[in-house]
Amino acid sequence: MDLQLDGKRALVTGSTSGIGRAAATALAGEGAVVAVHGRDRKRAEETAAAIAGSGGKAVVALGDLARDDGREAVVSGVESELGGIDILVNNVGGSTRDGWPVAEPADWGAMLNLNVVSAVHLIGAFAPGMRARQWGRIIQVGSAAGANPPPSMAGYGAAKAALANLTVSLAKDLAGSGVTANIVSPGPTLTEGWREFALSFARSQGMGEDFEAARAALMSGPLANPSGRLAEPGEVAALIALVASPLAASINGANLRIDGGFTPTVN
């Protein structure tokens, strides 16, 4: 299938590892010119070089999306390298200290800032250009925790729920513009971020540094899903590439779950 992404310009935030790197690689593989983003220049340049080595086109944009000056740096870097974008993938996100017994209000604020406010900032910067050109794709990376929040991920789940909610209002605001807004919500996915999460679970349960034991305990316990597996980053990336395609013009305001069936509801 030709996803018709040849020549489209894309920014994937947090694309030096994990789901973001896989999404940047997938979009570039379909012909898009991709801005690889992270805080670490070496990792970003290495990712861009890997994409170029596979015949794709990539530039680098650096900046800490938890900070206003970092957000401004990303916007100006992308504008100067690509002169605007057609596809924005708001992938950066994650949790800090979380869970009802331990998270302070400041921790909740930090999670909302990283997961939600950073995305709002980039939407504000790039949506007007997409609207003016009458075509665009805005894709948030949410989480199954947005609809099915474990108590240990209270702040993170609430932030991802906000991201899903704002995606729907954004799709309505962009009505008739040729720009769609969607959220792709993965369940557990085997990335560096998930590996760290599993290791911290292992330590908290007296398993030391035994990643495989933590993985088995999580996937047969609190994170069990009917598919019985972790997703691979490339699987999430394939869904992001499809939603980014002109073929997905009627997918709009949708929360697309890719969680092995973890979220036990009809919608």
> Which entry of 78, 111, 130, 156 is annotated as an active-site residue?
156
**How many angstroms separate the CA atoms of 117 and 143, rounded?**
16
Rounded distance, CA 168 to CA 239, Å? 18
Is residue 235 a contact residue for ligand NAP (CB under 6 A)?
no
Applying CB under 6 A, among 91, 152, 245, 255 the residue interacting with ligand NAP is 91
**156 assigned to active site:** yes
- Which of these ranges, 51-59, 103-111, 187-195, 200-208, lies near ligand NAP under the rule CB under 6 A? 187-195
Region from 49-57, 90-98, 219-227, 243-251 binding ligand NAP, contact rule CB under 6 A: 90-98
Q: Is 14 in the site for ligand NAP (CB under 6 A)?
A: yes
167 binds ligand NAP (CB under 6 A): no
Is residue 192 close enough to count as binding ligand NAP by CB under 6 A?
Answer: yes
Instruction: State yes or no: residue 94 binds ligand NAP (CB under 6 A).
Output: yes
Verify binding: residue 16, ligand NAP, rule CB under 6 A: yes
Find the binder of ligand NAP among 189, 225, 252, 255 (CB under 6 A): 189
Q: Which of 61, 141, 153, 162 binds ligand NAP (CB under 6 A)?
A: 141
Q: Near ligand NAP by CB under 6 A, which window of 89-97, 102-110, 119-127, 209-217?
A: 89-97
Residue of the chain from 10, 38, 51, 243 that contacts ligand NAP (CB under 6 A): 38
Residues that bind ligand NAP (CB under 6 A): 14-20, 38-40, 43, 64-66, 91-94, 114, 141, 143, 186, 188-189, 191-194
Residues with catalytic function: 156
